[in-house]
Amino acid sequence: MFKGIARSKVMKDLAAKAAQIARIPRPVMIRGERGTGKELMADFIHKASPRVDKKFIAINCAAFNDELLNSEIYGHERGAFTGADSRKIGRLEQASGGTLFMDEIGNMSLSFQERILRVVEYQKFERLSGTETIQADVRIVSATNADLEEMMDENLFRRDLYDRLTFAEIKIPPLRQRREDIPHLIVHFVRCLHKEIPNIVTRTFKRETVEQMMDYHWPGNIRELKNVVERVYLYGEENVIVPDCLPKEIGGSTFTITADSFDEKVEQFKKKLIFEALEATGSNQRAAAEKLEMTYDQFRHFYRKFKES
């Protein structure tokens, strides 16, 4: 993603910096807005490092409360808590010899920060309710879109942990600051679609469409761009994707009915309802089915039909 696709000078320089950092077995902090590709950067660092043949294990710290996060990271012994019927190997042990990517570290509680500090500093830990001290050989790469400086000022994030996690720091710029990457990212996402769904219709982005996409500020960054490319490419009716095909927030028009015959108009309207419901529910098919008061099987039938059309 970063080395082969990014064409802007800032991203080429960033990829070169990341490749250099990758060879040094120390913690790395990745900063950037949501959707900028922080996990992709962490994976790039892992693959450019001497640990490339070992595991890359990722965990989103925002997805768990303290008890579950401790269990996920360190593992637990049988009987550690209600429901712990057997020993569980945590992410630290799973990543032995490789890289542990900890995303959304700004969501860690102070008590969890205190415990992970010991791991970063001494590479040692115990499973929950365990007595054996385990030596960890893991490189920790962390990431956040939070303002850690403000959090440290408010005593919500430990300065000593920040210092230990940031032997090196990489800041990924938002997409609006490297718009020249957008055409190449569009091509990349289209190629990925054709690999994933070999029988889809080949479509072309008109030059004016790409220019309009380059003018948009992309608050969701690469993740938002990928979502838009996939939607207009898969849901489009014509072989050429014109500006009106884009979502209205990017300057395009809303979905329009273009067919002539009554039956074709009905089919297009059904397709419009299916994909608008998907968009409104964040691509959650069960929620989209409920929104349209359909069964999940009915929704899946129409989704498959219109996705391949």
CATH label of the domain that carries residue 94: 3.40.50.300
CA distance 184 to 190: 10
Q: Are residues 128 and 17 in the same domain?
A: yes
Examine the fold and report which residue of 237, 253, 269 is the final residue of a domain before the chain moves on: 253
CA 99-4-28 angle, to 5 degrees, is 30
3: in domain: no
* Start-end of H helices in the chain: 9-22, 38-47, 66-74, 91-94, 110-122, 148-153, 159-165, 182-196, 207-215, 221-235, 262-280, 285-291, 296-307
Each residue's pLDDT tens digit in the chain (309 positions)? 555 567 789 999 999 999 999 999 999 999 999 999 999 999 999 999 999 999 999 999 999 988 889 889 998 887 677 777 788 889 999 999 999 999 999 999 999 999 999 899 988 988 888 788 888 899 999 999 999 999 999 999 999 999 999 999 999 999 999 999 999 999 999 999 999 998 889 999 999 999 999 999 898 999 999 999 999 998 877 789 988 888 878 876 555 566 678 888 888 888 888 887 887 777 788 888 888 888 988 888 888 888 766
Q: Are residues 241 and 167 in the same domain?
A: no
Examine the fold and report which residue of 173, 191, 221 is the final residue of a domain before the chain moves on: 173
Structure pTM? 0.76
Residue at token pair 């309207």? 269
Examine the fold and report which residue of 253, 269, 300 is the final residue of a domain before the chain moves on: 253
CA 210-11-216 angle, to 5 degrees, is 30
Domain count, the chain: 3
Q: Are residues 168 and 261 in the same domain?
A: no
Q: Are residues 159 and 218 in the same domain?
A: no
Listing DSSP states for 218-283 in one string gives -TTHHHHHHHHHHHHHHH-SSSEE-GGGS-GGGT-PPP----SSHHHHHHHHHHHHHHHHHHHTTT
Predicted confidence at residue 305, as pLDDT, reads 83
CATH label of the domain that carries residue 192: 1.10.8.60
Q: Are residues 47 and 189 in the same domain?
A: no
Predicted confidence at residue 267, as pLDDT, reads 84
Domain that residue 266 falls in:
255-309
Q: Are residues 280 and 261 in the same domain?
A: yes
CA nearest 170: which of 47, 39, 54? 39
Predicted confidence at residue 308, as pLDDT, reads 63
267: in domain: yes
CA distance 42 to 38: 6
Q: Which two tokens stand for residue 259?
A: 């067919």
Q: Are residues 163 and 96 in the same domain?
A: yes
3-state class (DSSP) for residue 205: strand
